[in-house]
Structure formats: structure tokens, C-alpha cells
Chains A and B, each alone.
Chain A
Amino acid sequence: DADVTQTPRNRITKTGKRIMLECSQTKGHDRMYWYRQDPGLGLRLIYYSFDVKDINKGEISDGYSVSRQAQAKFSLSLESAIPNQTALYFCATSDPRGVTGELFFGEGSRLTVL
């Protein structure tokens, strides 16, 4: 089983719908991240959390919210999805005691907003 698990892996939804992407990890890492990847734009950070009580905005947080339910769980919500939120979303974890800059990514959640 994957150490960083994302659900759903694929989702098609309509404009205006609320969507939640979930991430759980068994690596025991305190730090968790949500990125989106778009063709030609690379990986961009949406939100990150260094522990359960710490939530921080990344470079493109508008239109998104997150919840850190436990050390192992970090969810990303789109309150009212719009077509330009169509992208591949990655959850990632890191260990501050480990290799600096090493992120462990989930398998990705492909979201299509019609």
C-alpha cells in the first residue's frame, strides 16, 4: 500500500459543486502539503501544514480551504468548483528531521470541473 494515499484518484464534477480531496499518510510525518499541477505551469503550492494546529496558505490558496484532522490526515476542499480548478492535485509529506527538501507525494487526484 502507498505511504501517502489520496482519494478520489479521479473526479469529474460540475461548476459550483463542493469537492473534497482527502489525503492520509502512514509515514508519521508532521508536515503535509497540497499542490496542484497544470500543464505548462508546473507544481504550485496551495496550502501546507507543519502540525495539526498549523495551517498556512501557499502561493495559490484562493478558492481552496484545508482541514488537518489528525497528524495523518489533510483534506483539501473546493467550496464552489470552477473550470479553471481542473488540474492534477498532489498531496505530499515531509519529515523536518530527514533530507531537507524531500517531499513524498501521493499518486495524485485528477479533478475535472465542467
Chain B
Amino acid sequence: QKEVEQNSGPLSVPEGAIASLNCTYSDRVSQSFFWYRQYSGKSPELIMSIYSNGDKEDGRFTAQLNKASQYVSLLIRDSQPSDSATYLCAVNRGSQGNLIFGKGTKLSVKP
């Protein structure tokens, strides 16, 4: 089983809708979880981090973590065409803090 799994998509949503991106992980001792956004031809950039169960909101973005289910999600409210990108889920691995990345979900927001 891949350590961090994401649906590769593409996920297509209309402008103004909520986009829901999902990620599961296999290592139960994982402590830190991250969402990176990568525009086509560009490098990844961190947009959200979450460390404890529940929701964490930052503007139009909400990260949700359920450690019992080993599940982390990213909700994007009022999706905009500028949100069209690949979203990478990453999980902290071990005490050294190296990240394990999922393959990414490609999101397309249609005007």
C-alpha cells in the first residue's frame, strides 16, 4: 500500500463551488499533515498544515484531519479558476521530519 494516497483526478468543479480533495495515509504514527499547491510548470508551495484532529480554516481553505480514519482532506470554498492546480498531500515521516508526498490531485475550476 502506498504510504500517502490521493485520487489523481482530474477533479472538475464549476466556479463558486466547493472543491473537496481527499488523502489517506498508512503510517499511524504520522503527526503532521500538509497540503501543497503546484501550478502547471511551477514548483510546489505550502498552503495548509494541520496537526490535530478536526478542522483548520484559512480563508477559503479548510483542512480536515481524522487520525482514527487516517484521513485528511482539503476543502476549497468559492472555487476560482485561479485555484486550478495540482494539490499534493504530504505527511510527516518519523522524527526527522521528512515528508512523504502523495501523487497529487489535479483540480480544474471551470468559469
**Structural contact, A101 and B92, CB atoms closer than 8 A:** yes
- Give the number of chain A interface residues (Cβ < 8 Å): 23
Stretch at the interface among B55-63, B66-74, B77-85, B93-101: B93-101
**Structural contact, B88 and A96, CB atoms closer than 8 A:** no
Q: Mask for A88-105, Cβ within 8 A of B = 1, else 0?
A: 001000101001111101
Q: Write the nearest CB–CB distance from A44 to chain B, whole angstroms.
A: 8
How many A-B pairs fall under 8 Å by CB? Answer: 53
Q: Write the nearest CB–CB distance from A48 to chain B, whole angstroms.
A: 6
- Most chain B CB within 10 A, of A56, A90, A100, A108, is at A100
Q: Write the nearest CB–CB distance from B53 to chain A, whole angstroms.
A: 17
Q: Mask for B13-52, Cβ within 8 A of A = 1, else 0?
A: 0000000000000000000101010000011111001010
Residues of A within 8 A of B96 (CB): 50, 56
Q: Write the nearest CB–CB distance from A83 to chain B, whole angstroms.
A: 21
Q: Which residues of B contact A (CB under 8 A)?
A: 8, 32, 34, 36, 42-46, 49, 51, 88, 90, 92, 96-104
